[in-house]
Amino acid sequence: MESSRPSKTKQKKQMEELQNIGKALVELPKDVLKKLDLPDYLRDEVLEAKNIPQNGAKRRQLQFIGKIMRKIEVDPIREQLEQLKQPSAQEVKLLHATESWREKMIKNDESYKEFIDIYQTADSTKLKELISSCRGPATSSSKSSYRSLFRVISRYIEEKKD
C-alpha cells in the first residue's frame, strides 16, 4: 500500500531547503532585497527577520518564512538568488580590462601614456607613483600599491564607461 504523500524525511529536507533560501534572503542587503521580485508579505517577513537580534527568535522567524514559502512558487526566487551570486558579464569584462591595463603599465611606459590618452581624467602623477612602486622586488608596500593601482584603474575605466 503506497502513500501519495512524501515521506517525513523528504518533507523535512524540503522545509530545510526553504529555510535556507529564506536565510539567504535575510542575509541580502535591504536595497538588493527590495529589487527582487518577491511577494510583499514574504518581503515584509524577511525584513522583519533582519531586525531580530536573538538567535531563537530569528530561528523561529526563518521557520515561519519557510512555511510561507511552501505556499508560493520558489523556483523564480531561487533563480534570482543564483543570478546575484554570479558576476555579470560586464563586471568580468571590467576586471579583465583592469588587470590587463595594470600589467601593461607596470611592464612599459608606453602603455601608461596610452592609458592617459584614453582616460584623460586620470591623475597622471598618482598613477606614475603607483606604477613605480609596483616595479621592483615584492614588499608589503609594493603589494599595497599593486592593489591600489588596480582600484584606481578600475575607477577610471568605470567613469569612462558611464
Per-residue model confidence (pLDDT) at position 120 = 86
Per-residue model confidence (pLDDT) at position 87 = 72
| Domain count within the chain | 2
Residues 45 and 104 both lie in one domain: no
Domain with 77, as residue range(s), is 8-85
Per-residue model confidence (pLDDT) at position 3 = 62
User: Whole-prediction pTM value?
Assistant: 0.54
Greatest CA separation for the chain: 81
Residues 152 and 117 both lie in one domain: yes
Per-residue model confidence (pLDDT) at position 46 = 92
Per-residue model confidence (pLDDT) at position 47 = 92
Last residue of a domain, one of 63, 85, 107: 85
Per-residue model confidence (pLDDT) at position 103 = 92
Residues 139 and 157 both lie in one domain: yes
Residues 80 and 104 both lie in one domain: no
Residues 52 and 79 both lie in one domain: yes
Tell me the one-letter amino acid at 27.
E
CB atoms within 10 A of CB 28: 16
Give me the average pLDDT of each 10-residue run along the chain (162 residues).
76 88 90 88 92 89 90 90 80 88 89 88 87 81 86 87 66
Q: How far, in Å, CA of 69 to CA of 127, rounded?
A: 51
Please indicate, yes or no, if residue 3 is contained in any of the structural domains: no
Residues 23 and 61 both lie in one domain: yes
Mutual orientation of helices 109-118 and 124-134 as an angle, nearest 10°?
Answer: 150
